[in-house]
Structure 1
């Protein structure tokens, strides 16, 4: 029977059966293993759930050893799905260090700044 050697952070080196391990492969459009792939297991000695990164070599070894696989398609780039960052608005200049200093001095010296801001927004 195939045995898999792994390391538990608490117990050190342990041996597992393929059924004790789950491989989560993140694959790109070509089916290649990418960053974010990992394998996880529950330590037989201390019952701690352990998750470790799996590069293409480790994923291949675990697959040939009979470990169950969860394939996940590579996610769309996070930057494409998030709204624009406030410092990089769709229109208008970027906030500069001088702008930040001016704002700091204004907030520090003028206790009525918030009332004036509300007056300009019509609230």
Structure 2
């Protein structure tokens, strides 16, 4: 491969890495971190993998699934709508096996610790 082609390929790769970094920063800014549920803040969930793709993991706390109810392209408004549904309609009810509820679990404190605004 000619040197000019290698340089061009290198520039394309750098632009791709910069785009991924910008996309990751945007996701983090709107509350879509890779680790933890963006709906309820439950820490034992991996919402996005290392490539910022949804994992299709179901949150044991709120029951929402990464890749089904929300994904890496979800807007903050969409996440807020789902969150409101869990808080207001489901009264922050634990979704998974009742035996797996963490000791002294407090859903509103969990959301506060995850820097998630609690819908009213």
Interval containing the TM-score (normalised by the shorter chain): under 0.3
More strand by share: 1
TM-score (norm 1): 0.21
More helix by share: 2
